[in-house]
Amino acid sequence: MENIKAWFPLYAGDWLTSMGLRLCSPFTRGILIDLMAYSWQTGTPGIIKEDHTDLSLFFHCTKAEFSNAIAELDKRNCIIRDNGNIMIPRLQSVAKEQNEKHKRRVDAGRKGGIAKGKSSKEPDEDIAMLKQADSNALPIDKIRLDKTREEETRKDKKKVKRFKPPTIAELQCFIKEKGYSINAENFIAFYESKGWMVGKNKMKCWKSAASGWNLRDNSKSNKPAFEQGENNYPEGIEVPND
């Protein structure tokens, strides 16, 4: 076939989603690639003379291995065996498409510009072929994307635990467990008046707040009486006037 390029496109969608091809062994799929490359290189894309002896030597495998691979490809409808030839329909179709495109470009060049009719539609045809190949592709990226979305959804479902103020009973139990001396009612009354805010932030853990409260109470109780408040100065100590 004339005007065949030195390379041929291998459509990932065709290769990865062909059920018949997927059922073939890796060795058999490798033989098919070699057959495609060999037929393309010899100038007869998709058509190879079925000579098991010569082809097995060329492909560096035993004749039995090659024959088994051909039988498997035939069984899975990946090739056609006809009149002593091995035919690969998909590769023949690709070669025909390339040849027709080449002819349209040549015609367009002869007319001194882009030819009318089909040649003007070549970009659209290329885009359509790419879209088709993409639609047939094994959705590996889609699987990864779906997995990522599932993980994000799972994270969303794990809602951030909302703060729940303690009851007096819960706080008293915690105080007893820790051996604290704070007054549970005073603690709750104080933070309720603050809207359970610590500074400008919403309280996240009331147990930590209770521990801090106890620590401050202990620190204050360990100070001398005259440092605990203006009403607690010992007798004989003059209260300073501001």
Q: Where are the domains positioned within the chain?
A: 12-128, 168-221
Out of 7-16, 17-26, 137-146, pick the least confident: 137-146
Contact 91, 40 (CB under 8 A): yes
% of the chain at pLDDT higher than 90: 34
Out of 95-109, 124-138, 192-206, pick the least confident: 124-138
Q: Look over the chain and give the mean of its residue pLDDT values, rounded to a whole number.
A: 78
Out of 68-72, 97-101, 133-137, 215-219, pick the least confident: 133-137
CATH number of 12-128: 1.10.10.10
The Cα–Cα gap between 116 and 162 comes to 68
pLDDT given at position 190: 92
Number of H helices, E strands in the chain: 11, 5
What average pLDDT does this structure show over 139-162? 64
Report pTM.
0.43
